[in-house]
Structure 1
Amino acid sequence: MFKPVFAALLVATCCPAGANTFVADPLVETTRSDPAVTNEHSDGSAIEHISIYANRTERLQEDVLASITVLNRSDILARQANDLPELLAQLPGINMSRDGGRGQNSSIYLRGGNTGHTLVLVDGVRSGSATLGYKPLAMVPLELIERIEVIRGPRAAWYGSDALAGVIAITTRRSSALELHAGAGSFGQAGADISASQQVQQLTLRASAGVSQADGFNAQPALDPDSDGYQQQYLKVAADYRSDYGLWSVQADVNSGFNQFDTSFGSEDETDTLNRAYLLGWQQQLNSWQHQASLSRTFDSDTTFSSDSRSPFVTERDEFNYQAATDFSSGLGFVSGVNWYQEQVAKSATAYEQTNRINRAVFAGLNYQLAGLQLEGAARHDAINHYGEQVTWQLAAGYQFAYQWQLRASRGTAFKVPSFNQLYFPGFANPNLKPEQSLSDEIAVSYQGNNLQLQLAWFDRQVTNLIQGVELAENVLLATVQGIEFSLARQWQQWHSNFSYTWLDTKNRSNGLKLERRPENTVNWRGSYTADRWSAFITADYQSATYQGADWFSGDAFPDAPAHTVWGAGLGYSISPQLTLRARLANLTDKQYYTSRGYATAGANFSVSVSYILQ
């Protein structure tokens, strides 16, 4: 068993004490302000990474009073994760439960929140199914992602509904070169993708496309002795045009495919998916004001089926955003804007009582900085069909009390409107559901040195009207989540180590039970070494025993998912500046474990890939 105290020793063993030389791993892109992910230039100087979404404006991450992780494209490649949920589960404060392999349903719990408590933005646009109430991440192609920004803590004062636990902001591919990638692995995994761009005077054209598939493994061995795989195709085309009237951008994304699964409910065991997104954007600097506007349309279609039945669900969302921002010479920054979106159920397997709702919102925020003192505040007013008005706010303060040391504290409110399924799906729905509401606090201390970065954060969230239930959705009077996050990054010459530990205490106050599938203790560790053209890494991911809920009829608790540690290792070799080979072995010890009751996980498996980048 992998004890947390043993994990802590890995930090010291991989990073000898007294180190004062800082050399980068060229295959790893990381971020300065999150100790769990750090990256530097080849000369050893730290990269100044930017937060785009935490305060809706570009700011150095060290100037944002929130817990943030940023992964850029080179870091995504270097980590060699099998898919997006697996990549996110390596980051501080995130746990994952999975109903099988790649393509099957995966639930992400950010700081103990429900899956629907994390808002997913794709290129700044609210994303996800209106019937489900969240964005399924299992079929989001990792190959089509340029950048990921994870903001831990409430952000409803900026973005409205859903951002109780945090925000996952995804930027799709914006390659400035010709890139080719191909890979293969266990369980019939194979895929390839290409990205290219062309600039003609003020016009820049970009395109990315790819395919991937896998035969998979048996998701639920007790139900159906088959392999459950997936297949998908994806395409993005975009254009940017710079003129005297601002920067104009237009893009279209299409992602389609299918995934197979096992279920004890009915005979349907396959899902066809189709996601489309269209975006028109504009931004312009006028004197000291930065103006931005966007108009988008998203389309989400999921049809579960078998040989004798089909259950289609299609939702659409139209959204408009406008904001204006400026920085005054006194150190005062200001942002304000409007947000409007309409979501509707265009098609469903069963009739819904309501199929449309509109959200109208205004928001504003201030940021003030004087010497070592920082203050932030934001507020938002939402007017939503059938729910009247919601007002959310957040306040934060930070103080640099010593060189490279900062203490910060924040408090914020958030809410989530029930999904169409929770409100109107026959046999499950409860039209009397109230919106979930939360009050969150965080206190953190951080150190940002050249070869050592650390952060210790305590957080507390109280959720009223939490929506729970399987046969009937209902509001729980109160649920609480408390936790501690500790992250540390250490580098010495060619050695580099990332370590994070998260402790969670979750409770449904109506019955005194824990919230399902949130392990109390989680450890993620990654150690790497670079020599000339070679790079190697080893990972260890630990979860303590995890509560799996109770039987619907008897009320008896299911056995906890046992504690487990999963080890992995990988290699990278740069044949030339353009050509890189990578290989990874996952679950080295062939650990038999599960994160979702009744569902299998992959045993020992491998993947290999090749990347060609022509600048």
Structure 2
Amino acid sequence: MFKPAFAAMLAASCCPAIANIVAAGSPDDTSVTDNSIDAKTIEHISIYANRTATLQQDVLASITVLERADIVARQANDLPELLAQLPGINLSRDGGRGQNSSIYVRGGNTGHTLVLVDGVRSGSATLGYKALSMVPLELIERIEVIRGPRAAWYGSDALAGVIAITTRRSSALELHASVGSYGQAGADISVSQQLEQLTLRASAGASQADGFNAQPAQDPDSDGYQQQYLKVAADYRSDFGLWTAQADVNSGFNQFDTSFGSEDESDTLSRAYLLGWQQQLNNWQHQAQLSHNLDSDTTFGPDSRSPFVTERDEFSYQAASDISAGLQFVGGVNWYQEQVAKSATAYEQTSRVNRAIFAGVNYQQNALQLEAAARHDAINQYGAETTWQLAAGYQLTKRWQLRASRGTAFKVPSFNQLYFPGFANPDLKPEQSVSDEVALSYLGSGLQLQLAWFDREVTNLIQGVELAENVVLATVKGIEVSLLQHWQQWSSNFSYSYLDTENRSNGLQLERRPENTINWRGSYTADNWSAFITADYQSASYQGADWFSGDAYPDAPAHTLWGLGLSYTISPQLSLRARLANVTDKDYYTSRGYATAGANFRLSVSYILQ
């Protein structure tokens, strides 16, 4: 049950401040220190909501943008933990860092959120989504979270939203190191070199943890991880445009607990190669991108080994122009091929091709703003899918805006859902959705407020444990409230989300989606130090039912997690940070049978030489 007293206490404690309002700046601007994070009230830029750079307040969608300085200041242990602090996002964990983590954006399944890395579709074709637990925060420059459908721009998977990650673009020599509870330790380095028209960049690092017992009832051991990562990139400016090339390699090892056989360890590897070009020709901005991604996950134990390797080749081109006063056009093509390159078991089909064309317009006239976009995807296994979105915004006053939107989306079943022996269903249909949103927002110099209502209907929702099947209809309704404040040296970021989910085939809630979620972060910034306190609340969440008896499992209990953090700038180059998470050592879980971290700490040091 939701606790109104707790909500009132947090709302009352939202002392004036603003969080997450930092300069978007140039891609190379990473010199912002922890102390400046709450001291600036400068507009963010959205890059991915409409596929063009747009002021955040001019985007007719609910978005959150975190720059590098925001990411560092929050001191999260990993990417799933960081995302769970943002509005409209819930997290379900099967243990600690390195183990499986499910991200639910506005009540959607994990696979209903498209993950883009440097603008490229990312994730395993067999799983059907990107596993975020092994994506190192140290390699992330920027995160943009778009809540609501974006299939009209990006195609399959973007039913509930998009998480767009930009990897490191440091313009300085940076050294970072950290230690923490459960044997956690890590270090990374970033370097950059400017040679006239050529810019070279590289980032590398490693981390590890002994971990804790992920599933106490299965195997009484600690489940840890190890990870190494490297990125090299080059930008070349010429008369023929800006050319970019980069390569990312992320390899790791993690342990987990399972009731299926003896395989309880995993080697992971992801590789990404990217070539890009952009050029301004007259009034048109042209962009093209060619990429290759490999995702490998090999689980193993004393007696067996199960490799799964998928690859994706992708090409995108788009052109954008202000074709008249107040009217902007964006259009392009997208092609990608997915294939199962290696698997422990034979799949009936091992590849598929997606061809798409998309276009959109944005029109502004005085206080009125209109947006429209459409995309047509031709998939060799399913024929064609056409998606669209419409949005309108009206500036009621200088600071108040009312907006409304409707959009359609779809998700093609994964190779596991279609072809994995014993669990798959080759007759599955793509999931399809229609979503509505109405929002009222206020933008002031020291206060930002947004009230949003959303409603999504998903037909052919894929559910099932023993056999994947399409559910006739599932609904997700909700309300989001976000409040960001700033007053002198005090800052506050408060969000509340309400979810009402239903599987219409049986009348039950969708699993692991708490009805009520509250996130609050308050901070104080002085000349050379800053401190923050966080409170994260989730109400009880439905955990599903026994497959054989049909009896519902006990709900995961409601819980509140408190955290404390401190940062101290010794010099312009050197800073120290410390964080305590789950300060009260709360015993809780978000996924039935899996443990979560107790009270834990993290200490880190950063050295930046411009």
Which bracket does the TM-score occupy, shorter chain normalised? Answer: over 0.9
> Secondary structure of 1:222's partner?
coil
Alignment counterpart, residue 108 of structure 1, candidates 98, 103, 106: 103
Partner residue of 1:208 out of 179, 203, 228: 203
Partner of 2:258: 263
Quick check: 1:511 aligned with 2:503?
no
Match of 1:188 among 169, 174, 183: 183
Task: Tell me which residue corresponds to 1:133.
Answer: 128
- Secondary structure of the residue aligned to 1:402 is coil
Give the aligned partner of residue 6 of structure 1. 6
CA distance in 1, matches of 2:10, 2:341: 52
Match of 1:15 in 2: 15
Query: Residue 187 of structure 1 aligns to a residue in which SS?
Result: coil
Distance 2:509 2:527 in 1: 49
Contact 1:158 1:380 in 2 (8 A): yes
Q: Is 1:447 equivalent to 2:442 in the alignment?
A: yes
Given the alignment of the two structures, is residue 525 of structure 1 paired with residue 520 of structure 2, yes or no? yes
Letter of the aligned partner of 1:260 in structure 2?
Q
Task: Give the equivalent residue in structure 2 for 1:566.
Answer: 561
- Letter matched to residue 594 of structure 2: Y
- Rate the CA distance shift 1:477–1:14 in 2: closer, same or farther, 3 A: closer
Contact 2:22 2:40 in 1 (8 A): no
CA change 1:31–1:562 in 2 (3 A) is: farther
Aligned partner (choices 583, 586, 599) of residue 581 of structure 2: 586
Equivalent position amino acid for 1:206 in 2: R
TM-score normalised by structure 1 residue count:
0.96
For 1:135 and 1:44, how far apart are their aligned partners in 2? 34
Aligned length: 601
Whether 1:153 aligns to 2:148 is yes
Cα offset for 1:328? 2.8
Unaligned runs of 5+ in 1: 17-21, 33-38
- Partner secondary structure for residue 328 of structure 1: strand
Query: For residue 307 of structure 1, what is the aligned residue in structure 2?
Result: 302
Provide the residue aligned with 1:35 in structure 2: none
Long gaps (5+) in structure 2: 25-33
**Preserved contact between residue 172 and residue 192 of structure 2 (Cα < 8 Å):** yes
Where 2:182 maps in the other structure, the secondary structure is helix
- Cα deviation, 1:80-111, whole Å, max 9, x if unaligned, reads 00000000000000000000000000000000
- Distance in 2, matches of 1:572 and 1:476, equals 49
Change (3 A) 1:313 1:135: same
- Confirm or deny: 8 A CA contact 1:2 1:565 kept in the other structure: no
The corresponding residue for 1:19 is none
Is the contact between residue 283 and residue 293 of structure 1 (CA under 8 Å) also seen in structure 2? yes
For residues 437-472 of structure 1, the C-alpha deviation after alignment (integer angstroms, 9 at most, x for no partner) is 000000000000011110000000000000000100
Matches of 1:136 and 1:451, distance apart in 2: 37
Match of 2:112?
117
The 2-side partners of 1:408 and 1:93 are apart by: 18
Hey, what does 1:377 align to over in structure 2? 372
Alpha-carbon offset, residue 244 of structure 1: 0.3
Q: 2 CA distance for matches of 1:4 and 1:226?
A: 39
The structure 1 residue matched to 2:221, chosen from 206, 223, 226, is: 226
Can you list the C-alpha shifts for 1:507-553, whole angstroms capped at 9, x where unaligned?
00000000000000000000101122110000000000100000011
- 1:373 & 1:614 partners in 2: Cα distance? 46
8 Å CA contact 1:11–1:497 kept in 2: the answer is no
- Distance of 2:364 and 2:92 partners within structure 1: 41
Query: Which residue identity does 1:62 align to in structure 2?
Result: Q
Aligned counterpart for 1:68 among listed residues 49, 59, 63: 63
8 Å Cα contact 1:423-1:432 kept in structure 2 = yes
Q: Work out the CA distance in 1 between the residues paired with 2:13 and 2:392.
A: 36
Whole-angstrom CA distance in 2 between matches of 1:224 and 1:42 = 43
CA deviation vs aligned residue, 1:307-352 (integer Å, no higher than 9, x gap)? 1100000000000000000013421000000000000000000000
Q: Is the 8 A contact 1:29 1:74 kept in 2?
A: no
* Aligned 1:192-341 pairs, distance under 5 A: 192-341=187-336
Contact 2:475–2:504 (CA<8 Å) still a contact in 1?
A: yes
Instruction: Show the counterpart of 1:494.
Output: 489
Q: Does 1:94 align with 2:89?
A: yes
* Cα pair distance change 1:578/1:127, threshold 3 Å: same
TM-score by structure 2 length? 0.97
Structure 2 counterpart of 1:355, which letter?
A: T
Amino acid at match of 2:506: N
- Counterpart of 1:397, as a letter, is A
Offset of 1:500 from its aligned partner? 0.2
1:407 maps to a residue whose letter is: L
Cα separation, 2, equivalents of 1:91 and 1:137: 15
Measured at CA, do residues 2 and 574 of structure 1 come closer, stay the same or move farther in structure 2, by a change above 3 Å?
A: farther
Letter in 2 for 1:524: N
* Post-superposition offset of 1:40: 11
Q: 1:36 is matched with which residue?
A: none
C-alpha distance in structure 1 between counterparts of 2:5 and 2:486, whole Å: 21
Aligned partner of 1:392 in structure 2 is 387
Deviation at 1:363, TM superposition (A): 0.2
Cα deviation 1:378-404 (Å, max 9, x = unaligned): 000000011000000000000011120
Question: CA–CA distance in 2 between the matches of 1:475 and 1:44?
Answer: 50
User: Residue deviations 1:31-89, cap 9 Å, x none?
Assistant: 89xxxxxx997996621211000000011111110000000101100000000000000
Contact preservation (8 Å) 2:540, 2:558: yes
1:80 corresponds in structure 2 to 75
Q: 2 CA distance for matches of 1:274 and 1:603?
A: 29
The correspondence of residues 415-430 of structure 1 with structure 2, limited to 5 A, is 415-430=410-425
Aligned identity (percent) is: 83
Match for residue 363 of structure 1 among 325, 337, 358:
358
Distance 1:372 1:334 in 2: 19
Q: CA deviation at 1:491?
A: 1.6
- Report the AA paired with residue 489 of structure 2: Q
Q: 1:567, 1:586 within 8 Å by CA — same for their partners in 2?
A: yes
Determine if contact 2:94/2:591 at 8 Å carries over to the other structure: yes
> Does 43-52 or 461-470 show the bigger shift?
43-52
CA–CA distance in structure 1, aligned partners of residues 148 and 420 of structure 2: 30
Q: Which amino acid aligns with 2:331?
A: S
Tell me by how many angstroms 1:12 deviates: 3.0
Q: 2-side partners of 1:257 and 1:489: how far apart?
A: 37
Which one of the candidate residues 533, 540, 545 is aligned to 1:545? 540
Q: Give me the whole-angstrom Cα distance separating, in 1, the residues matched to 2:585 and 2:21.
A: 29
**Aligned residues of 2:23 and 2:40 also touching (Cα < 8 A):** no
* Aligned mate of 1:595, from 580, 590, 594: 590
Cα pair distance change 1:375/1:341, threshold 3 Å: same
What is the distance in 2 between the residues matched to 1:330 and 1:498? 37
The answer to which of 378-387 and 43-52 deviates more is 43-52
Please say if residues 223 and 264 of structure 1, whose CA atoms lie closer than 8 Å, have aligned partners that are also in contact. yes
Letter in 1 for 2:13: T
Q: What root-mean-square deviation, in Å, do the aligned CA atoms of Structure 1 and Structure 2 show?
A: 1.6
The amino acid that maps onto 1:607 is R
Contact 1:4–1:523 (8 Å) recurs in 2: no
Distance 2:468 2:22 in 1: 41
C-alpha separation between the residues in 2 aligned to 1:180 and 1:427? Answer: 49
Shift of 1:7: 3.0
Deviations 1:405-434 (A, max 9, x none): 000000000000000000000001100000
Indicate yes or no: 2:387 matched with 1:408: no
* CA-CA distance at 1:495 after TM superposition: 0.9
Give the drift of 1:14: 4.1
Residues in 1 aligned to 2:226 and 2:218: alpha-carbon distance in whole angstroms: 22
